[in-house]
A and B are shown apart, each in its own frame.
Chain A
Amino acid sequence: MSGHSSSYQPTSRWGKWWDERLPVARMMHGQFVDFPTPRNLNYMWTFGGILMFCLVAQIVTGIVLAMHYQPSDTAAFNSIEHIRRDVNYGWMLRSFHAVGASMFFIAVFLHIFRGLYYGSYKAPREVLWILGVIILLVMMATAFLGYTLPWGQMSFWGVTVITNLFSALDTIWDGLGTGIVEWLWGGYSVSGVTLNRFFSLHYLLPFVLTGVVILHIWALHVAGQNNPTGLDIKQPAETVPMHPYATSKDIVAMFAFLTLFAWFAFFLPDYLGHADNYIEANPLVTPPHIVPEWYFLPFYAILRAFTGSFLGIPLGSYAKLFGVVAMFGSVIILAFAPWLDSSRVRSAKYRPMYRMAFWAFAFTCVALGYLGSKPADGVYVLWAQIFTVLYFAFFLVAMPVLGLIETPRKLPKSINDAVLGSGGHGMPAGATAAPETR
């Protein structure tokens, strides 16, 4: 793939003039028009484009909202209401931005599950995968900072709880954690000072995200896309040009996604939020039940699973530190998947045992999400502990062990074999437009 050269031919004098000086059009044509994509990609491969759309939509709506928002503890809460009620189309732009964050996470989670199912993290795509994990972390940081800005009760107490995670470091070195937390706050509690700096960082991080996304796409276009069979591309006839084949599929999926997006944005703009966030932040009253946004619930459940004891093992004063380490670890462990998985077969399509483990893992994530939304006592804690063990077991037990004990199903010889049956070697009828010169 990396050797793929653009078939771009400038036709106008203007185009030729540019092509000799800064061949951006040539690069874009080579990477996004005639770039060879596997001919067997399914709809799970449309989320990359959707995520690109989400990022751009969040940046555009965010820049506009920042023109009306005031990052101060006295004005922030009212300025959000000002945006919703007074600013022309403010109600719509704010809904797009708030709902857009949720849609962004729906797409990114499906994108990650796709990668786990089809083994997209395996060689030679390790760097591509790790860049993806970094993108997830930056997205989570951005979403967390952004949720502070409305300065409601959930905003305030969400920030308090999450920034306090760092105070767990006091267990390792007395004063270290408290020092970090006060540095983040700019005071001895969450205040307007904190809000102001979080606004600044919330504006910055999406551009950092854009930079990492560019590297992610670069790495993708060096290794080439994985595909549902997980097989390497052996001959040009196994690929079709990105445009119009992959792009038309992307557009169909995009419309389905935008329908869901619009449904939430126009009919249920507050459904994914919390009523408590329409009460202005009050540092003297903690809401009875603090919950993060839905996309953080599984991680929150892991954090809370570490109470005084874990499945009967007493943790004492280390409970908090373990909870924090497990929560961050649950994301970071993804980055190690390329080395934890011992199987050479990529796609779960040919790995019967891994496929079961995958679906058990998917269920575990949903179950943790449910438990994260429930109060942290009684039977919920026990279940959260069990599912936390299962979450990590997928990476630390299933991935390394299944590769050794599982007998994979017989792999097709090539992508063409898988698509056309073992007898087929010719071009599929639908791909006649693929230039055979390549």
Chain B
Amino acid sequence: MTSHVEDANRRDFLVVAGNAFAAVGAASLIWPFVQQMNPDASAKALASTEIDLAPVKEGQAITVMWRGKPVFIRNRTKDEIDAAAKVELSELPDREARNDGLSGAEPAVDANRVLKGHENWLVLVGICTHLGCIPKGQSMNDARGDFGGWFCPCHGSHYDTAGRVRKGPAPRNLEVPPYAFISDSKIKIG
């Protein structure tokens, strides 16, 4: 066949170029069909939430909504802070801080899970890192698991008083959302 073609290279080029354009065209047509399923701008808009912490007494906890997710805020007691600070890094299944307020991967010591000067306030996304259930432990009479933090009833993950996973199938510590104190008793999440 090729012997009849005056310029085989020219024909090959046309075939490759034609197919390449068709592939790019197909891909750019598929992309909108895939992308339409992702969160849109209205969902992405970082709706930040301001919360007044004044009514939350020591040992109490509240749950607020942020981006459609529950956020746990616990005013930790002295004992709870001490228990969390005492834990060696080697005892943790997940040794990363999982704190969105920190840049890069920091070790999961208690200091990296809270804001400096506000060590009693623990702010966490209240979604179990296993399969997304809401762990128990916010209410005073909830089961708080073996480590005094939270306990996920779905598949039995235990979290400690710094929201770090200690036991069970959850692979990660509870996420710390980005937040800041805008006054002594008010925080802004997001």
Contacts and interface: CB of A to CB of B under 8 A. Distances in A.
Chain A interface size, as a band, is 35 or more
Nearest to B70: A284
Chain A contact residues, majority secondary structure:
helix
Nearest to B143: A288
Interface in A171-191: 171, 182-189, 191
Contact of B169 (A197, A290, A323): A323
Q: Which of B127, B134, B155 has the most CB of A within 10 A?
A: B155
B171 A171 contact: yes
A66 B14 CA distance: 50
A401 B39 CA distance: 50
7 contacts: A161-B133, A164-B131, A171-B171, A183-B38, A308-B93, A317-B171, A376-B154
A351 interface: no
A307 B67 contact: no
A187 B39 CA distance: 4
Interface in B160-180: 167-172
A286 B63 CA distance: 14
B60 to A, nearest CB: 17
B131 A286 contact: no
A161 B156 contact: no
B68 interface: yes
Contacts of A186: 37-40, 43
A197 B154 contact: no
B88 to A, nearest CB: 16
Contacts of A199: none
A182 B35 CA distance: 11
A319 interface: yes
B130 A189 contact: no
A135 B88 CA distance: 50
A377 B156 contact: yes
Contacts of A185: 39
Contact of A308 (B69, B131, B153, B167): B167
B136 to A, nearest CB: 8
Chain B contact residues, majority secondary structure:
loop
Contact of A197 (B34, B37, B156, B170): B37
A323 B157 CA distance: 14
Interface in A195-218: 197
B94 interface: yes
B59 interface: no
Given A304-B155, A319-B171, A161 B134 contact: no
Contact of A157 (B38, B94, B133): B133
A412 interface: no
Contact of B37 (A183, A191, A317): A183
Contacts, number: 96
A165 interface: yes
A162 B133 CA distance: 11
A193 interface: yes
A157 B132 CA distance: 8
Interface string B130-144: 111110000000000
A129 interface: no
A405 interface: no
A182 B69 CA distance: 13
A352 interface: no
B68 A189 contact: yes
Nearest to A289: B153
- Which 4 pairs of residues, A with B, have the shortest CB-CB distance? A164-B132, A317-B171, A189-B68, A164-B131
B132 A160 contact: yes
Contacts of A316: 93
B171 A161 contact: no
Interface string A309-321: 0000000111111
A283 interface: yes
Q: Which of A163, A165, A167 has the most CB of B within 10 A?
A: A167
A221 B150 CA distance: 57
B153 A286 contact: yes
Contacts of B37: 183-184, 186, 197
B133 A290 contact: yes
Q: Which of B43, B94, B132 has the most CB of A within 10 A?
A: B132
Contacts of A320: 130-131, 169-171
B145 to A, nearest CB: 11
A22 interface: no
Contacts of B154: 157, 161, 286, 290, 376
A310 to B, nearest CB: 10
Given A288-B153, A308-B168, A316-B93, 20 more contacts: A160-B133, A167-B131, A182-B38, A183-B37, A184-B37, A187-B39, A193-B43, A284-B63, A286-B133, A286-B134, A286-B154, A289-B153, A290-B133, A306-B169, A308-B169, A318-B171, A319-B169, A320-B170, A375-B156, A376-B154
